[in-house]
Chains A and B, each alone.
Chain A
Amino acid sequence: MIAGVVLGAVAGLDRTAFGQTLLAHPFVAANVSGWIAGSPDTGLRAGVLFWMLSAGRVPVGETRIRDWTTAAVVLPWCVPDTAPDAARGLVFLSTLVVALVGGAAIRGIRDVARRSIEGWRSRPVIGRGDPAALHLGLTSLHALRGAMLTALAIVIGRGLVALDLTTPGTFLGEIMGVTWALAPWALLPLLWRAHGDLGRSRAPWGWMVGGAVSALVLGLVLRGGA
């Protein structure tokens, strides 16, 4: 779990504060997290779902901030690959709350930054101090936010799984199993629209259809060969 918290801190920095090297992208974050946690299949599937949810959003200057990065890091640490789909569905829905809380925390840090910068500017030039110290302090808050939220969410998520609320055959178990199974279908339009809207022409739609047809043909060829 310590590795997960460290990953949450680094990804929290990478998301908007430092580097933006792609680690914070939900698809990458979930896969790396799943790899480290020993649940690569859950990581891959979580990555696909959070990729769809975050598609089309630019992590700079957002108005509706949602922290899909932390949500993507957390999920593979709560449900191993051997867990039933119902448990994955329950934790998936729970991590959506993580995304909302994380977004609110980012807005809070930015508000702290606004007040700190105003205070720094209002002082006489001689008494302002090194701007790099203030800058690094504010930057490190993003790592702290990522670490704390990841730790808290993993503990709560594992607690939810341990409660065994999603036993097969129960009402909640049925619903959560269906949620996990239907999730990519419900979220797919987000991904399609995001990539269709990236260009000003209809060309991306043609490329998308081309990619889908290629995958279908390849799949048929591979299955025919097998």
Chain B
Amino acid sequence: MTSGRKSPSWWRLWSVQGSFAPDARQWLGWIVALDGTRSDDDRSWVDAEPRALNTNPHLFGVLVGARLGIEESGHADAPELARTITEVLPSTLGAIGDRLIWTGVRPAAVAVAAALAPWSGPAAAVGAWVVFAVAQGWFRDWTFTWARRHGAAVAGEINRLPLHAIADRARGIGAFAVGFATIATVLEWPSTESLMAAGPAAVGALVAGSVLVWRRADPFWSVLAALVVASVAVGTVG
């Protein structure tokens, strides 16, 4: 272990998923990120790393930062701490990040854009994309620096950040926007002659889709089956 590592280039932190594989998961992305912190070509350290690694990509910088912070601390037990944090932290970050990003902020951003879209057109979607991209870029950078400063203490300190509260708030906003967008977009769907003739079929498709979805059948095939059957029935009768 050496102290005074350089920060990895941003693309190494943003592309951890690029070489995702079924067994090793994000292992190669992890190796590439660590390799970017070293100045020599000796890669014998690679074989000491875990054989597989998986975490939330938006919080990947926390893992890299914590590892660097430990290695730069110069403590006698730094190698053991580095090994432990690499094994334990990914699943913790995965759980937090999935809740914060995948089921929190991301769907909320899209739902708000969808609710505004009938008035704004594509600008709402573009705006949501730009805001989310800038925010997550800042978040990745800030959390990397924060984790590097805290080192091994990250495992405890991360629960002091208001990430769970942000996730809960985003879910509420997202659900409200979904309800709003449902009325704003679906009820304003262009009514065609065929749909006017098929008012009951619209209700039938909604009921059939609901039953299949709630029975947790594969949504792709079950909902499409409901759609196609309803369409053929209405098209034939109409």
Contact = CB atoms under 8 A, between A and B. Distances in A.
B106 A189 contact: no
Nearest to B227: A186
Which bracket fits the contact residues of B? Answer: 35 or more
Interface in A80-128: 85, 89, 93, 96, 110-111, 113-114, 116-118, 120, 125, 128
A211 B176 contact: yes
B182 interface: yes
Nearest to A76: B122
Interface residues of A, number: 94
B66 interface: no
Contacts of A185: 186, 202-203, 205-206, 209
B125 A28 contact: yes
Given A17-B18, A25-B106, A209-B179, A178 B234 contact: yes
A211 B179 contact: yes
A114 B122 contact: no
Contacts of B218: 64
Contact of B129 (A21, A179, A216): A21
A158 interface: no
Given A110-B21, A135-B32, A174-B194, A214 B180 contact: yes
B21 A174 contact: no
B205 to A, nearest CB: 4
B141 to A, nearest CB: 13
Contact of B14 (A16, A19, A23, A203): A19
Contacts of A125: 43-44, 46-47
Contacts, number: 315
Interface string A180-224: 111111111111111110110001111111111111100100000
Given A47-B125, A207-B175, A212-B180, A117 B19 contact: yes
A31 interface: yes
A181 B14 contact: no
Interface stretch (B83-91, B113-121, B145-153, B155-163): B113-121
Nearest to A45: B189
B171 interface: yes
Nearest to B213: A189
A182 B28 contact: no
Contacts of B186: 48, 184-185, 188
B78 interface: no
Given A17-B17, A96-B224, A182-B227, A195 B174 contact: yes
A42 to B, nearest CB: 11
Given A185-B206, A193-B213, A195-B111, A44 B121 contact: yes
Contact of B178 (A18, A28, A206, A211): A211
Contacts of B21: 110-111, 113-114, 116-117
Interface of A: 16-23, 25, 27-28, 30-32, 34-35, 40, 43-45, 47-48, 51, 53, 55, 58, 60-61, 64, 66, 85, 89, 93, 96, 110-111, 113-114, 116-118, 120, 125, 128, 130-132, 134-136, 138-139, 142, 171, 174-196, 198-199, 203-216, 219
20 contacts: A17-B15, A25-B106, A25-B110, A31-B124, A35-B121, A40-B121, A60-B17, A117-B23, A125-B43, A131-B43, A135-B29, A175-B235, A178-B198, A182-B234, A185-B203, A186-B223, A186-B230, A187-B227, A190-B209, A198-B103
Interface of B: 11-12, 14-15, 17-25, 27-29, 31-32, 35-36, 43-44, 46-47, 54, 56-58, 98, 102-104, 106-107, 109-111, 113-115, 117-118, 121-122, 124-126, 128-129, 132-133, 136-137, 168, 171-186, 189-195, 198, 201-203, 205-206, 208-210, 212-214, 218-220, 223-224, 226-228, 230-232, 234-236, 238
